[in-house]
């Protein structure tokens, strides 16, 4: 289940980077980094929440979900700060486009999953 959303996001990160090719190497790198900035926290969140929820679907699951969400937001912020500090010639439009495309694609892919565990 998680793997399908992960692969959709990987393909979208590569696609948005490839689509940025006419705008130069900085745009390609920026778009890819933006996609990875969405992908990494999403994978962390999914592994934390679904890994815990599978073993213990009790009243503590909400706390796990909330901690994972806060950590996900912190990871996103950290990755953007790292990109701003470490990458010279960053193309902001490509960076945020990559992030948004991969994030929205992951949300849409997860909406197509059957809540009982299988894909549609």
In a domain, 117, yes or no: no
Q: Does an H or E element contain 43, and which?
A: helix 25-55
| Residue 101 placed within a domain | yes
pTM of the model: 0.84
- Of 37, 39, 34, the residue nearest 93 (C-alpha): 34
50 inside domain? yes
| Torsion region of 117: left, alpha or beta (phi above 0 gives left; psi -120 to 50 gives alpha) | left
**Tens digit of pLDDT for each residue in 36-93?**
999 999 989 988 887 765 555 556 778 888 999 999 999 999 999 999 999 999 999 9
**Residues of the domain holding 78:** 2-111
Is 1 exposed, middle or buried, given 0-12, 13-18 or 19+ CB atoms closer than 10 A? middle
Domain count, the chain: 1
């Amino acid at each position: 289940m998680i793997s399908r959303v992960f692969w959709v996001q990987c393909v979208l990160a590569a696609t948005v980077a490839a689509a940025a090719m006419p705008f130069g190497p900085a745009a390609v790198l920026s778009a890819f980094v933006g996609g990875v900035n969405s992908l990494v926290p999403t994978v962390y969140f999914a592994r934390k929440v679904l890994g815990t929820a599978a073993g213990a679907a009790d009243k503590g699951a909400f706390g796990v979900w909330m901690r994972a969400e806060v950590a996900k937001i912190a990871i996103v912020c950290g990755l953007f700060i790292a990109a701003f500090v470490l990458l010279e010639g960053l193309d902001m439009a490509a960076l945020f486009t990559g992030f948004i495309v991969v994030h929205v694609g992951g949300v849409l892919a997860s909406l197509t999953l059957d809540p009982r565990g299988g894909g549609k």
